């Protein structure tokens, strides 16, 4: 089966949220799901709030990311999670 590249946008609850703690928990959730994070980026949104983007590879046979999204949204200080990109990885 092919690999799939997935990008998730994680929105913290507020400007005081611990982004490092959120990032560690999200990475663990992705790894437990069978994915491998290879890019993480924090982007300012406004009013002191920042979004965290994670891009990872997973096996296409795993199926959709809904179980992973449900697990991530339960992480402390995470307000929401959204898949922003899904692409088949070539090579």
Any domain includes 41: yes
Q: List, as one string, the DSSP characters of 20-57.
A: HHHHHHHHHHHHHHT-EEEEEEEEEEETTEEEEEEEEE
Instruction: Give how many domains the chain has, as a whole number.
Output: 1
Q: What is the pTM of this model?
A: 0.92
Residue 2 in this model has a pLDDT that exceeds 80: yes
For residue 91, the model assigns a pLDDT of 60
Residue at 87 is within a domain: no
Q: Is residue 13 part of a domain?
A: yes
Domain that holds residue 30: 3-48+57-81
CATH code of the domain in which 75 resides: 3.30.70
Determine, yes or no, domain membership for 36.
yes
Asked if the structure places residue 89 within a domain, the reply is no
pLDDT tens digits, 26-67: 999 999 999 999 999 999 988 889 999 999 999 999 989 999
Report yes or no on 86 lying in a domain: no
């Amino acid at each position: 089966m092919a690999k799939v590249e997935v990008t998730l946008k994680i929105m913290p609850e507020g400007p005081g949220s611990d982004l490092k703690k959120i990032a560690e928990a999200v990475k663990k959730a992705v790894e437990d799901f069978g994915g491998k994070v290879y890019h993480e980026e924090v982007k300012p949104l406004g009013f002191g709030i920042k979004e965290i983007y994670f891009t990872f590879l997973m096996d296409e046979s795993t199926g959709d990311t809904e179980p992973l999204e449900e697990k991530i949204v339960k992480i402390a200080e995470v307000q929401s999670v959204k898949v922003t990109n899904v692409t088949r990885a070539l090579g």
